[in-house]
A and B are shown apart, each in its own frame.
Chain A
Amino acid sequence: MTLILNDVLAIHWAIAGAAIAAITLVLLFVSNRRLGISTGFEDVCSLVLDAEYFRRASVLSGRGWRLPFLVGLVLGGVVSAVLGGGWSPTWALGMFDQRIGWGPAGKVAWMFGGGLLIGFGTRMAGGCTSGHGIFGLSNLELPSLVSTVSFMVAGLVTTNLIYRVIV
């Protein structure tokens, strides 16, 4: 199957999974850090918000590696586009365009609302797909199993409601 990005063919899942495992293990072995991305939202918040929560030791000590990692994620996207047919700003959103068909203003509202749930929910859960789903499950942690099952089931219900019931 091809990606929305320039119709590039997706790499095989086994290669992608192995690459993610390798990066996760290098991060642990080289720099003693457990993979986790959603705490990076707190790191960014801690730069501008003065609430006690954002002055915790774990936020202040994690900022040094997580913020450059987040910048790297953006760069990875840029490189992927440049090497895969060229970089250009786009509003293309695949089956959302075909089935729901909202323009830019609707997409911004939709994405902002979903983003709020992602930011609030991941921080309440103490992790996201990377911290719970990959690292936590791999390290056999019960909270990660609870969270992973919760977000997978909730996503399943939501997408099926949107694409099999509503539209």
Chain B
Amino acid sequence: MDWFNEFPHMNDESLRQLKLSIDNAFRTFTRNYGDFIEGLFTPLAKFLIWAERLMTQTQWPIILIAIVAIAWFASRSLKVVVGTMVTLLLIGYFDMWMDAMRTISMIFVCTVISIVVGLPIGIAMSRSDRLQKIVSPVLDVMQTMPSFVYLIPVVMLLGIGRVPGLIAVVIYALPPMIRLTDLGIRLVDRDVLEAADAFGSSRWQKLKNIQLPLALPTIMAGINQTIMMALAMVVIASMIGVQGLGQPVLKAIANQYFTLGIFNGLAIVGIAIIFDRVSQAYGERLQKHREIVHG
């Protein structure tokens, strides 16, 4: 009855061999192709560095005015604008301006990449049920796999620094962008699509004139989710060398600096709220035409 009390597992020696051989194979792969793969990501690294320099080397009042202006044009709401300004001033006053700018630049780059990658995948998925069945479980894995696990191969391949951090954040933040693009396009009114067909629209015309504009509020919700998830990854990404508000938090954990932790944590929350309110208000403004004024 041994097998009943203890699960009959693979014998220890072969299991050890299996893990070892996979590890060795991956290590060889890393040695042979690591440089090549790192080369592929150089444009990304340049983009990241450019964004970070832009945010950190520009004088703070200019950045402040720019962010407040963007908040105003996106939301047209005084409440959101005042909230944005006060949050940024507090972050600066408590000497977290530089780290906050590094984090914002990182989030900005991650969001841009998520949109550039996610939007076409989402569109392709909405057109093919088969592709949707293939991609959906991959997205599930991306969202549920503990991030430390996929950090291991990324760090082995690319070392420590901004780019592996970026990849880790994008893996985590990409799924909502893809899912909500897919959903938004699938929810587009069939009657309107039929009308577009009846007037002889090509596939591209249908996408450009009907599907994307009508899916835009849902896509905006996806972008909003992507930004939130990217911010949630800031601390974990700081473990592999991403600079910004995550690093002081990491230091605070290691040394039990309670106040340092809470200040930087609150700064992350503040930035998250700014991004969230501004992008949501923008999404709502896009839906203005949906208001039913006349029954």
Partners in one complex: no
Residues of B within 8 A of A (CB): none
